Structure 1
Amino acid sequence: MEWFTRMKEALDLMELKMEERLDIEEIAKAAYSSPFHFQRMFHMLTGMTVAEYTRKRKLTLAAQELAMSSSKVLDIALKYGYDSPESFAKAFRKVHGISPSEARSPGVSLKAFPRISFHLSLKGDKDMDYRIVEQEAFKVVGRAFRTTCQNNDNTREIPTFWGACHQDGTIDKLVSIGEDNNLLGIVLDMQPGSEDFTYMIASQSNVDEAALAEGFTTAVVPAYTWAIFTSVGPMPGAIQDTICRIFQEWFPATGYEHSGGPEIEVYPPGDTTAEDYRCEVWVPIVKK
């Protein structure tokens, strides 16, 4: 319950600061959380990034002000953090489907994006199998692409990327050069304030010339303390559900938070469409 109270306090502060530039460190501090952990939790709980939420809220408030006042469009644009009427008009049209000046027409239809509220939901209908492990740094090799949390594009683009890597032979090559038979899905380069990140399909491997000749990229996963969760069921639904439960149920109930490092999916050999397929989610953690 305390965790949800802190998130409510952070939301209250966000509402008070809608006319200012977002200071994620200040907002996260209100939730007694690191900026990275706050943003990751917010996204997993709401389906939106903090930046996406504040954009929609600002444009809702701006639309109300346009409809109910005679303030200049430029003044309202500047008030809600836009540098020019052009950038404001582009963002406004994307949300409302009309220009800011059209928002003043009598009877015009505007989108209203309400303020979010958090409510305690006691689930606990399923056990969450996990263990805490200290792991030294290790090298990986694979293929990567950039995706975004905005509009949950990553939940569609990542399965498509896996499909393409199966079709072009990437998966078979990674299995052949890996130190074990496991495939890894790695979330890299998540930064506070950014909606974009790198997703890598990889295998654990000490890089050699043959791997580089295949056009693969390389990375080093640093040493972390990991919370490792077991996921059971067909992909990608089962692992997406497990990841959601980690953030919606496990983190609020424990004394841990996300360390800001990469997140890893570990896929052993087997039929990934089977109801009993087992894989793992590795989340880097620190004690609060």
Structure 2
Amino acid sequence: METRIVARPEFRLVGHAARVPLIHRGVNPYIQRHVAALPAEEHLRLEALGDAEPVGLLAVRADLDADYDEGSELTYLHGVAVSRSSPVPADLDVIEVSAGRWVVIRVVGPHPQILQRTWATAAAEWFPFNPWRLRPGPEIVTVPGPTGDLGSPTRELWLPVEPA
């Protein structure tokens, strides 16, 4: 598992949010419908607003149930990261993110299966053997651009961590 630890100052996640149920396996149809309902121009507008790491379009899960129970509700945001000083259009939803560290896991393979498998592997094999634990904050996945190979894209899974 290819990982790195990144320290980030405060930033914001901005985009279009929806409350959806947590689904552990396969494509989440609620998220799929939410993203599909956005016009192509909106993806381009969001990308132009992004000015912070993680870069590009992002799939964000926030307000997750502490036990990750299947069917529990979470906030899903399709958007970008912006610095605290960047202006945000009034029609976008905002998630404030506090300063902290993140474990960034490189994920290569078909979506969403490889991402779900990577999360499970991190929980079972990476966290128990590393001096980090999850801290409160959103989970972020980078989304490959429109020219990426969607059958086998490279993504990054960003999980908020703190020393164990």
Smaller-chain TM-score bracket = 0.7 to 0.9
CA distance in 1, matches of 2:23, 2:144: 30
Q: Which runs of 5+ in 2 are unaligned?
A: none
Specify the alignment match of 1:207 in structure 2.
87
Q: Do the aligned partners of residues 149 and 253 (structure 1) sit closer, same or farther apart at CA in structure 2, a change above 3 Å counting?
A: same
CA RMSD of aligned residues (A): 2.6
| Deviation of the 1:200 alpha carbon | 0.5
Q: 2:27 matched to 1:149?
A: no
**Aligned position for 2:51:** 179
Structure-1 residue corresponding to 2:160: 284
The DSSP-based 3-state class of the residue aligned with 1:234 is: coil
Instruction: Determine if contact 1:139/1:207 at 8 Å carries over to the other structure.
Output: no
Structure 1 spans left out of the alignment, 5+ residues: 1-127
Match of 2:11 in 1: 138
- Relative to total residues, which structure has the larger helix share, 1 or 2? 1
More strand as a share of residues: 2
Q: Please, which of 190, 196, 200 is the counterpart of residue 73 of structure 2?
A: 196
Kindly provide the CA deviation profile for residues 12-51 of structure 1, in whole angstroms up to 9, marking residues without a partner as x: xxxxxxxxxxxxxxxxxxxxxxxxxxxxxxxxxxxxxxxx
Q: TM-score with structure 1 length normalisation?
A: 0.47
Larger-gyration structure (1/2): 1
Count of residue pairs brought into register by the alignment: 155
Is this contact kept in 2: 1:231–1:242, CA < 8 A?
yes
Aligned match of 1:220? 96
By how many angstroms is 1:143 displaced?
0.3
Partner of 2:126: 250
**Of 129, 135, 138, which residue of structure 2 is paired with 1:262?**
138
Task: Tell me the SS of whatever aligns to 1:250.
Answer: helix
- For the residues of structure 1 that align with 2:41 and 2:114, how far apart are their CA atoms? 24
TM-score w.r.t. length of structure 2: 0.78
Distance in 1 (alpha carbons) for counterparts of 2:59 and 2:13: 11
C-alpha displacement of 1:284? 0.9
Contact 1:256–1:287 (Cα < 8 Å) also in 2: yes
Structure 1 pair 239–151 and aligned structure 2 pair: CA distance change class (3 A): closer
Query: Whose RCO is larger (CA < 8 A, sep 6+)?
Result: 2
Following superposition, the deviation at residue 192 of structure 1 comes to 3.4
1:154 is displaced (CA, Å) by 7.7
